[in-house]
């Protein structure tokens, strides 16, 4: 799973090198009580530490207070206004990546995400979107925000993107490290996998 180094960040705990971030699938938050694939097992939260808290996306966002939300679920509208605003309460400069494609399967549109966060969210998507305009300038004036496309390493319609993506896979320049720390807070991924752990085209938070 290529995203694994990015959702596991170093910690100074003497007996634990990594802190695992939260992964959500069809049953909700993945815990040790969930039926897990081999690929999911390392991301499962200890069920006993989660107690009776909800395992849906909104409950997890409220509990974890993440800075980053990544969607590969192919569930249109999965990132609701309530979820995004709950995240924004604790993350003034949040990162939201609705990566499902095609466009009709996005978890949220850039226009909605920027509207719900007063233009504060850093948004990239799995399919092309037009720039979004809104009153988010320094003095409340309208500004236009370009929406970056953040897709698979193989992008046959863009040779430059394909080259950069494959370069990251080969040399891992994008992986967090001493000089490239992960963002503070947490990362929540919402994905979907076929039975037996086989990843869908947009599933699993790990293409």
CATH number of the domain to which 27 belongs: 3.40.50.720
Dmax (CA) of the chain: 53
Residue 71 is part of which domain span? 4-128+145-193
Please say whether the beta carbons of 59 and 77 come within 8 A.
Answer: no
* Exposure of 174 in the CB half-sphere (CA atoms within 13 A): 13
* pLDDT higher than 50, residue 137: yes
Domain assignment of residue 167, yes or no:
yes
- 174 is a domain residue: yes
Question: How many domains does the structure of the chain reveal?
Answer: 1
> Which has the higher per-residue pLDDT, 142 or 151?
142
pLDDT above 80 (res 172) = no
* Mean pLDDT of all residues in 151-164: 51
Does residue 137 lie within any of the structural domains? Answer: no
Average pLDDT over residues 159-185: 50
138 found inside a domain: no
């Amino acid at each position: 799973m290529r995203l694994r180094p990015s959702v596991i960040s170093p910690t100074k705990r003497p007996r634990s090198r990594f802190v695992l971030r939260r992964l959500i699938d069809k049953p909700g938050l993945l815990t040790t009580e969930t039926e897990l694939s081999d690929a999911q097992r390392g991301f499962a939260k200890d069920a006993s530490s989660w107690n009776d808290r909800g395992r849906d996306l909104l409950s997890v966002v409220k509990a974890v207070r993440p800075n980053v939300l990544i969607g590969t679920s192919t569930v249109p509208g999965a990132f609701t206004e309530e979820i995004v605003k709950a995240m924004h309460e604790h993350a003034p400069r949040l990162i939201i990546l609705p990566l499902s494609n095609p466009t009709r399967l996005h978890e949220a549109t850039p226009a909605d995400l920027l509207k719900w966060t007063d233009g504060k969210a850093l948004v990239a998507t799995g399919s092309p979107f037009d720039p979004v305009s809104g009153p988010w300038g320094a003095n409340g004036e309208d500004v236009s925000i370009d929406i970056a496309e953040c897709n698979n390493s193989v992008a046959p319609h863009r040779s430059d993107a394909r080259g950069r993506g494959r370069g990251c896979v080969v040399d891992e320049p994008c992986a967090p490290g001493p000089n490239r720390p992960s963002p503070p807070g947490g990362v929540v991924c919402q994905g979907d996998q076929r039975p037996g752990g086989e990843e869908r085209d947009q599933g699993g938070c790990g293409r």
